[in-house]
Amino acid sequence: MNKARFITLEGGEGTGKTTNLAFIKECLERHGQRVIVTREPGGTPVGEKIRAIFLGEGDVSPESELLLVFAARAQHLRDIIEPALASGAWVLCDRFTDASYAYQGGGRQVDNTLILLLEEMVQKGRKPDLTILFDAPVEVGMARAKRRGGSDRMETEDLKFHERVRMAYLQLAEQNPMRIKIINASRPLDEVQASIAYYLTSLFES
């Protein structure tokens, strides 16, 4: 049996990370792993309440946004992520701290040193073992997100905002090439899933 791993999925709006969540869970379970699927912001009763505030209507300042996602993360780590990993379950999380660097750092242009400070305080060294970054041109992702319907506070931001988010994600991947694997999400689903399976296999073998 492998050591329990922490896997996160990241990407801009409409890049298909949520669609592929079930596929990844199934791959892991086929390899005999117990899997906890969760998401951020959210994942706990308190975190889900924070998510509603975070994505709801209203003028939320960039710093408030940052504090909200890290408040939810602190609860999530304590109540779900750390206990799951300690029990030997793999954790599959739809977004984590890379999203704070991409959206609050890149999109809202909050100073990255503030994000780093909170990351150190809240995570106490915990980092994902593997991050799959779904990447697609912003227009492609936004069109998909629109077709899906509904639009939250982030989805209604302009293209420039989402371009900055994408660039920040790509920069994070460049800075963390061992952990963050980029998937070209513009390709057909079977090709995307073949790439995902390849990265998961490397995790089983390591």
Determine how many CB atoms are found less than 10 A away from the CB of residue 10: 26
Question: What is the crossing angle of helices 62-76 and 45-55, to 10°?
Answer: 160
- Which residue stretch of 25-33, 92-100, 175-183, 197-205 sits at the interface with ligand TMP (rule: CB under 6 A)? 92-100
Exposed/middle/buried for 9, CB within 10 Å: 0-12, 13-18, 19+? Answer: buried
Distance CA(46)–CA(52), nearest Å, equals 10
Taking the least distance from each CB to ligand TMP, the nearer of 94 and 135 is 94
First to last CA, the chain: 12
Stretch that binds ligand TMP, among 38-46, 83-91, 125-133, 189-197 (CB under 6 A): 38-46
Closer by beta carbon to ligand TMP, 2 or else 74: 74
Binding of ligand TMP at residue 119 (CB under 6 A)? no
Q: Can residue 106 be called a binding residue for ligand TMP (CB under 6 A)? A: no
Three-state DSSP state, 32: coil
Q: What is the DSSP string of 161-194?
A: HHHHHHHHHHHHHHH-TTTEEEEETTS-HHHHHH
User: 30 or 186: whose CB is closer to ligand TMP?
Assistant: 186
CA angle in degrees (0–180, nearest 5) for 85-88-92: 55
Using rule CB under 6 A, residue 20 touches ligand TMP: no
Regarding 99 and contact with ligand TMP (CB under 6 A), the answer is yes
Least spacing, CB of residue 170 vs ligand TMP, in Å: 16
Residue 69, interface with ligand TMP (CB under 6 A)?
yes
Q: Whose Cβ is closer to ligand TMP: residue 40's or residue 135's?
A: 40
* Region near ligand TMP per CB under 6 A, out of 35-43, 56-64, 75-83, 190-198: 35-43
| Residue with smaller CB distance to ligand TMP, 31 or 140 | 140
Instruction: Between 31 and 62, name the residue whose CB sits nearer to ligand TMP.
Output: 62
In sign, the C-alpha dihedral spanning 6, 62, 167, 192 is positive
Window 153 to 182, contacts with ligand TMP (CB under 6 A)? 154
